[in-house]
Each structure stands twice: as structure tokens, then as C-alpha cells.
Amino acid sequence: MTGPARGSAPRRPVLFASACGGAFALLTAAVAVHGWTAFGFEAAAVRWGVTHRPPTARALAIAVTALGTYVFPYLLALAAGAVSVRSRRPAGSRRRAVVLLAPAAWLAAGQVLRQALMHGLARPRPPAAGWAFDASAFSFPSGHAFTSALSAGLLAVAVARARPSATRAATTAAVLFAAVIGFTRVYLGVHWPLDVLGGWLLAGCWLALGVCLLPKLPAGPGAPN
């Protein structure tokens, strides 16, 4: 009974990456067929944000959304690396550095992919008149949604590998973090809802591909598989 379960475990990231990647492709196709313009429910969601944005809520949303870009996600990725160093116990300073920096490097590589897709697809953002936060370039997939989901996911995976009993808590925290960041992007008027969904799906695919590479990282004796 335990043999097949162990054998199926390495395939789970591959299946998850395939599911997220396939869903992202279908979503992209749907938005493209619609001419890259907003669906009715997307426009309604952005309008709701514009008309329900008192100063306190606006300030809070701006503070929260800032956590989805620049320094903070890389701090999460470095925390993931630190947890991995502690759990994998690689021998030698060079191997420890590789394990420490691998999540941040994977996050940076994901940004290259996201930027290429964003500029290649070139979906326009919502009207700038409704923005409550500075934004640039194009809209799909959302950079904040992608970055927050990927960085939090990297840390959740590292924690789950190091302490399996904390898997549910780490996963819940990562999902909530990504969800809140994604909500702020629509609430602040700088993204359509499907931009956020696209960012999450792309992050899920990239995260799962990274998990597939985890066994290739240096590990010391007795480290978890």
C-alpha cells in the first residue's frame, strides 16, 4: 500500500504544473478571443472598487499591495532558502549558498518569463482614471499576483519539506497572502480580475516546476527527500 503512494508523490508536482499551465493557456486563449478587452464581470469588479474606496481602505490596500513586489517577495524566497539549508544540511559553503539562493533565483527566472508573456500578450490595463496606485506596462498576467503567490509558495514548500506537520498552516498562509495581494490589485483599479487569476495560475505552474528540481539541490546525509 505504501509503495504506490511513494511512487506517485514525485508525479504530483508534474501533474500540478500541467494543470496550472493548461488552465493558464485556456485562460489566455479566452481573453485573446475576447479581443483582450474586459469581460463584463471584470469591468463591474473594477467599478465596484472605484466606488467603494474610502481613504482608510485605500491606504491599507496600498500598503498591502506593496508587499507583492520589489524587496519583500525576495525576502520570502531567501527565507525559503534558509529553511532549506537547515533541513537539507548541505556540506560546504558553496553548496549551502546554492541551496540558500536557489528559491530567489527561481523567483527571478519566473519574473523573466512573466515579463515576456506580459509584453508579448499586451493586454491593456483598466482605465487610468480609476487607478489608486501607480502602474506601468501591460496587464496580463498580474505581476503582483504572480510574485506574491510564487514567493509565498516557495516558502510554504520549504517549510512543508522541513516540517511536514506544518504543511497545512504554511499552505494556508501562502494562499491567504496571495489572495489578499490579488484582491488589492483589482480593488486599486490597476488590474482586471482575470489578470490576477492568470498570475496565480502561472505562479502555480512555475512553483511546481521548481519543486520538480528540488531533488537536484545539494543535500547532506539524513536530509528529507
pLDDT (mean) for 132-155? 96
CB distance 149 to 178 below 8 Å: yes
Rounded to whole angstroms, how far apart are CA atoms 96 and 82? 9
- Residues whose CB is less than 8 angstroms from the CB of residue 186 and which lie 6 or more positions away in sequence, other chains included: 45, 46, 49, 192, 193, 196
What is the average per-residue pLDDT within 1-14?
61
Please name the fold of domain 13-216.
Vanadium-containing Chloroperoxidase; domain 1 (1.20.144)
Instruction: Provide mean pLDDT across the span 204-222.
Output: 79
pTM for the structure as a whole: 0.91
Give me the half-sphere count of Cα atoms (radius 13 Å) on the Cβ side of residue 94: 0
The vertex-75 CA angle with 203 and 117, nearest 5°, equals 30
pLDDT tens-place string over residues 17-37 = 999 999 999 999 999 999 999
Position 2 confidence tier, pLDDT thresholds 50, 70, 90? very low
Q: Report helix angle 167-187 to 143-162, nearest 10.
A: 170
